[in-house]
Amino acid sequence: MVAQALKIIPQQAGSAINIEAVSHRFDLEGAPLPVLDDIGFDIEPGSFVALLGPSGCGKSTLLRLIAGLDHPAQGHIRVAGAEVADPDPSRILVFQDPTLFPWRTVRANVALGLEAQGTLKSEGHRVDEAIRLVGLSGFDKAYPHQLSGGMAQRVALARALVNRPNVLLLDEPLGKLDSLTRLAMQTELTRLWQQSGLTAVLVTHDVEEALYLAQRVIVFGPRPARIVADLAVDLPYPRHRGDPRLAELRHEALGHLGLDSSW
Amino acid sequence: MASIDIAPGAGTGAHPPGPIQRVTLLASLGWFAAVAILLFWQDLTFQPLVRELALVWGAVGGVLVVLGLGGNRLGRVGRWTAQRAPWLLAIGIGAAIWTVLTAKTGILPQPFFPTPQAMLEVFIYDWPKILHSTSFSVWLLAKGFFFGAVAGFLIGVGMGWSRAVSYWATPLLRYVGPLPATAWLPLAFFIFPSSGSASVFLIAFSTAFPVAVLTWSGIASVNRDYYEIARTLGASPLFLILRVAVPAALPHVFVGLFMGLSTSFAVLVVAEMLGVEAGLGWYLQWAQGWAAYANMYAALFVMAAMCSGLITLLFRIRDRVLVWQKGVVRW
């Protein structure tokens, strides 16, 4: 299965991401609400970075800015050296909810990007490859309401991967799954990232998830978000959840979030 | 024999003991009773076609005997009769009661409540006119409904999508839309070159309002995330309208189509009664002019069949188009 998939998706170049002095605020009934305060860091091409922080701290906003769905009030975001202006299929955002289109079958959902870009006719085989990659072969004709939460999120991943993005932006993609499916999907995510070679940015408030998946965990403080720590997870893949080094790092990360008293 | 019986009986499960459907047989008795009343109880006044009607009802009873004996062995037909047998019985008893109340005792006075024989006479001698009226009505309705649905849909999509369209169209829709289309009738007959085109306009008008409002609200209530997903995947504005907004709004659109179809029936009948010289509404009016009450009931009967048939058709189309909505879990 894995060997097969390795052949299917060619190694694609992940893009570097440069975030430079980005500040952002929302307008709440006339009163500006600052959400990001002078954030700056660089992400190596092809790396897996987790943005960790309390809920509502603004890390999802940062992800939307990288996706190009919103524009920062101040500062610059560059992906592969180019300023981010608009959404682009080379940078795909996967939401906490799978948000599959309920009127489309699994196959038609995965085909969405190619259809929108007008390349479905010539590149149709990529749809089947993506469905196989996430392990949903045989479910092509199923409708979203017939899928479990984990399956739906796999379809959402396939819908992103079919576009061969350089950057995969994951906004708590496993947040609504049950804990067992969640563990399985975490392993799956690492596998997909390793095979495709893309740059992955994961937003999460789950410390263990961030440490298990990412090579680097950037810890944010409460809103307006500032970087409070930048941890390197110097462990090879596949990782073991019981690794004492992970426990050490977890204690450190929770310390930065002010929650280390229980550990 | 026994082995043949077990297989289909086990499959349906509704009537486990034996293949015979007792209620279906009972229904046939109801129809035979109606025949007996018809033939052996003296009519108050002369009634036409007594023997012919007895033949028809007797035939229904005979068919029910066959179906009752064949019962669960008859596959789809058997399942249908098993489900509908109480209704078949009720209709037979209803026919008997109707005969007693009108032809036999006159509790319901003639000619306002026609006898079953008189109704049969209408269908036997006047069916070409009824058929022609029905086809005329259906065609008129189809034209008006089509134009109204298309116009309402386009207005709704425009309002849901464009602020400018919404700004100008909303007050107009709010002010003019709730006006019953029939209120336009006198003017429409005056403005349009023919009563036919005026009726098409009125039916279209009455259909367009609910379709526009529901399409609009459907598009306005589409989950914003669908647009963002499509945008990150490289969708153009046209793709967002045609492939995201419209399919997501379709359940609402069908509610609008249903409401539009229902109101268009009323407009159709009124328009036919007041100006158009054909159709079931006109037939109804014409029959009233001749005090032909049986013909009026016949027209009502056919009209009900037409309206419910069209609504059923719309629901079938909806079920086919919105198959993704069904909450049937297959995995």
Chain A residues with beta carbon closer than 8 angstroms to that of B322: 103
Name the residue in chain A with its Cα closest to that of B328.
A146
Q: State how far the alpha carbon of B272 is from the alpha carbons of A117, B199, B237, in Å.
A: 51, 8, 44
**Optimal mutation site among A61, A94, A103, interface B, most CBs of chain B within 10 A:** A103
User: For chain B, how many structural domains are there in total?
Assistant: 2
Are B279 and B178 found together in one domain?
A: yes
* pLDDT tens per residue across span A49-100: 999 988 777 888 899 999 999 899 899 999 988 889 889 988 999 988 889 9
Predicted pLDDT at B319: 87
CATH number at residue B266: 1.10.3720.10
Residue B7 has pLDDT above 50, yes or no: no
**Optimal mutation site among B224, B226, B228, B229, interface A, most CBs of chain A within 10 A:** B229
Chain B residues with beta carbon closer than 8 angstroms to that of A89: 232-234
Are B32 and B143 found together in one domain?
A: no
**Binary contact (B223, A142; C-beta < 8 A):** no
Chain B residues with beta carbon closer than 8 angstroms to that of A85: none
**Optimal mutation site among B222, B224, B233, interface A, most CBs of chain A within 10 A:** B233
Choose one of B109, B140, B168: the last residue of a domain. B109
Distance CA A60, CA B72 (A): 62
Cα maximum dimension of chain B: 82
Closest to A91 measured CA to CA, from A171, A19, A196, A199: A199
The answer for residues whose C-beta is within 8 angstroms of residue A62's C-beta and 6 or more apart is A19, A22, A24, A36, A39, A51, A203, A225
Is residue B125 within 8 A of residue B294, CB to CB? The reply is: no
* Greater model confidence, B19 or B242: B242
Which structural domain, as residue segments, surrounds residue B307?
117-323
Residue B306 has pLDDT above 70, yes or no: yes
Choose one of B92, B109, B126: the last residue of a domain. B109
Predicted pLDDT at B6: 39
Choose one of B50, B79, B109: the last residue of a domain. B109
Sequence spans of domains, chain A: 2-100+167-262
B303 Cα to chain A: minimum distance (Å): 35
Residue B86 within any structural domain of the chain = yes
Are B171 and B303 found together in one domain?
A: yes
Closest to B325 measured CA to CA, from A171, A80, A143, A184: A143
* pLDDT tens per residue across span B189-223: 889 988 889 999 999 999 999 999 999 999 999 99
**Optimal mutation site among B232, B253, B323, interface A, most CBs of chain A within 10 A:** B232
B108 exposed, middle or buried (CB, 10 Å; 0-12, 13-18, 19+)? middle
Chain B residues with beta carbon closer than 8 angstroms to that of A112: 229-230, 233
Is B108 strand, coil or helix? coil
Q: State how far the alpha carbon of B47 is from the alpha carbons of B104, B109, B193, B300, in Å.
A: 10, 14, 46, 22
Are B298 and B250 found together in one domain?
A: yes
**Binary contact (A87, B226; C-beta < 8 A):** no
B93 exposed, middle or buried (CB, 10 Å; 0-12, 13-18, 19+)? middle
Predicted pLDDT at B309: 95
Are B227 and B273 found together in one domain?
A: yes
Report, as an integer, the average pLDDT of B259-288: 90
**Binary contact (A112, B324; C-beta < 8 A):** no
Are B146 and B91 found together in one domain?
A: no
Chain B residues with beta carbon closer than 8 angstroms to that of A135: none
Residue B328 within any structural domain of the chain = no
Is residue B78 within 8 A of residue B12, CB to CB? The reply is: yes
In the block, tokens 């069916």 appear at B127
Predicted pLDDT at B73: 85
- The tally of CA atoms less than 13 A away on the side-chain side of residue B23 is 16
Residue B329 within any structural domain of the chain = no
List, edge to edge, every strand of the sheet that includes A227-232: A91-94, A167-171, A199-204, A48-52, A216-220, A227-232
Name the residue in chain B with its Cα closest to that of A110.
B233
Residue B39 has pLDDT above 60, yes or no: yes
- The tally of CA atoms less than 13 A away on the side-chain side of residue A73 is 14
Domain boundaries A2-100+167-262, corresponding CATH code: 3.40.50.300
**Binary contact (A104, B324; C-beta < 8 A):** yes
Residue B330 within any structural domain of the chain = no
* pLDDT tens per residue across span B124-163: 999 999 999 999 999 999 999 999 999 999 999 999 888 9
- Would you write out chain A's pLDDT as a tens digit for each of its 263 residues? 444 444 444 456 788 899 998 888 888 887 888 888 888 899 999 999 999 988 777 888 899 999 999 899 899 999 988 889 889 988 999 988 889 999 999 999 999 999 998 888 888 888 998 898 888 888 989 999 889 888 999 999 899 989 889 999 999 988 888 888 888 889 888 988 988 889 999 999 889 999 999 999 999 888 777 888 899 998 888 888 888 898 889 988 888 888 777 65
**Binary contact (B327, A145; C-beta < 8 A):** yes
Closest to B213 measured CA to CA, from B157, B268, B140, B145: B157
A21 Cα to chain B: minimum distance (Å): 24
List, edge to edge, every strand of the sheet that includes A17-28: A31-43, A17-28, A74-79, A82-83
Q: Are strands A227-232 and A216-220 parallel, antiparallel or unpaired?
A: antiparallel
Interface predicted TM-score of the whole assembly (ipTM), two decimals: 0.84
A239 Cα to chain B: minimum distance (Å): 32
Are B81 and B229 found together in one domain?
A: no
Predicted pLDDT at A1: 45
**Binary contact (A147, B231; C-beta < 8 A):** no
In the block, tokens 């109101």 appear at B263
The residue count for chain B: 331
Are B206 and B59 found together in one domain?
A: no
**Binary contact (B331, A112; C-beta < 8 A):** no
Angle between helices B163-176 and B116-161 (to 10 degrees): 150
